[in-house]
Amino acid sequence: MEVTALCINLCEVFLHVDPNKLQFFEYESISLRCVGSHGPTEWRVMNKLPSEFTQWETSAGSLNITPALVSHSEEYFCENVEGERSNSINITITAGDVILESPALPGKEGDNVVLCCRRRTTNNLPSDFYKDGIIIKTEYSGKMTFHKISTSDEGLYKCSISGSGGESAESWLIVAGDT
């Protein structure tokens, strides 16, 4: 049995993704790093490798993925030697033609958040946006803006480029409540 302590408010360490998004085209560059009040403990970026056995890939406080490959699509997080973990972020790398650019870190309730449906070769195409599998909006700019996002906007989002047949993977949009 695997026991892991979750350390969000106590250690104030979180995983930062640069650029701040969850989906990437294959061969883009991604930088992951542990940010915050580290204290005396060293933190490292980690991810669970796909296999039948539990196995971990670790790095120091940062990890650069250049070039990003589909095989890098994983859950990443920061962990210290005591087994405390930060937030986890699911990164998706696609060899396809369409991604949904959504923030990797949770948006705060009341913030404005933009989702962008992007094709590998062209931006700003008419796009359909879906939440939890149901179409919610068509945007001719390819961008959907949440003005004053709330926790009710949290969910699984994807997009498709109208008329092209290209569709993004799904990404979970997290909204941090007002604390």
Distances in whole angstroms, Cα of residue 126 to Cα of each of 30, 93, 135, 158, 160: 27, 22, 14, 14, 9
Tell me the three state secondary structure of residue 92: strand
Tokens of 124: 């700003």
Determine the average pLDDT of the residues in 152-178: 87
Determine the average pLDDT of the residues in 33-43: 73
Q: Output phi, psi for 27, to 5 deg.
A: 80, 0
Distances in whole angstroms, Cα of residue 156 to Cα of each of 117, 132, 134, 136, 176: 14, 5, 10, 12, 15
| HEC per residue, 32-80 | EEEEECCCCCCEEEEEECCCCCCCEEECCCEEEECCCCHHHCEEEEEEE
Tokens of 170: 């799904």
Determine the average pLDDT of the residues in 106-130: 89
pTM attached to this predicted model: 0.82
Q: Output phi, psi for 71, to 5 deg.
A: -65, -15
Tell me the three state secondary structure of residue 160: strand
Determine the average pLDDT of the residues in 146-173: 90
Determine the average pLDDT of the residues in 74-86: 87
